[in-house]
């Protein structure tokens, strides 16, 4: 016969179950969003994320700032920006006095395309989470705000 779990062990197990549920739901929603972006817009989630970051900064971002915001490598961002530029959705602007840095910003066509994609994205998320009421969504959001924003900082 096994000994009953302590309060700390029970809490630890519940937190582990919560993490696994959050991970499963996140993966399912992300997979659905990736597929819908691919089918509806011939696009990818990373492209969407780059365009979203650039929309928030209308003056544009340096490539290294964009990488930091998206928490991806400069190489990953460069490839995405290259394809967006080829499609006329972003423009690169040389920064005076800094030959190594480039500013990237959405073109007018990029803003228009992203606006349409973002509206569809919001609708898809709404549909995927239709079983969650506004009150529950707010409450879950509040609970998640209790979690540390930068878990890596806690371990340093």
Instruction: Give the ranges where the chain is alpha helix by DSSP (H).
Output: 7-41, 45-56, 63-70, 74-86, 108-128, 134-145, 151-154
Hey, what domains does the chain have and what are their CATH numbers?
A: 42-119 (1.10.10.10)
Q: How many CA atoms lie within 13 A of 31 on its CB side?
A: 6
Q: What is the pLDDT along the chain (156 residues), one digit of tens a residue?
A: 677 778 778 899 999 999 999 999 999 999 999 999 999 999 999 999 999 999 999 889 999 999 999 998 888 899 999 999 999 999 999 888 887 888 999 999 999 999 999 999 999 999 999 999 999 999 999 999 988 876 554 444
Q: Which of 7, 19, 9 is nearest to 151 (CA)?
A: 19
* Residue 99 neighbours by CB distance under 10 Å: 8
d(CA 116, CA 50): 15
Query: CB of 117 within 8 A of CB of 48?
Result: yes
């Amino acid at each position: 016969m096994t000994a009953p779990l302590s309060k700390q062990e029970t809490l630890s197990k519940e937190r582990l179950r919560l993490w696994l549920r959050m991970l499963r739901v996140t993966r399912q929603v992300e997979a659905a969003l990736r597929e819908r972006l691919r089918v509806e817009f011939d696009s990818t989630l990373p492209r969407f994320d780059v365009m979203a970051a650039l929309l928030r900064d209308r003056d544009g971002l340096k490539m290294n700032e964009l990488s930091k915001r998206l928490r991806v490598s400069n190489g990953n961002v460069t490839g995405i920006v290259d394809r967006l530029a080829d499609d006329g959705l972003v423009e690169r602007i040389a920064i005076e006095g800094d030959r190594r840095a480039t500013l990237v910003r959405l073109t007018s066509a990029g803003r228009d395309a992203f606006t349409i994609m973002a509206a569809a994205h919001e609708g898809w998320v709404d549909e995927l989470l239709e079983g969650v009421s506004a009150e529950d969504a707010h409450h879950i959001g509040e609970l998640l705000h209790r979690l540390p924003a930068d878990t890596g900082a806690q371990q340093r």
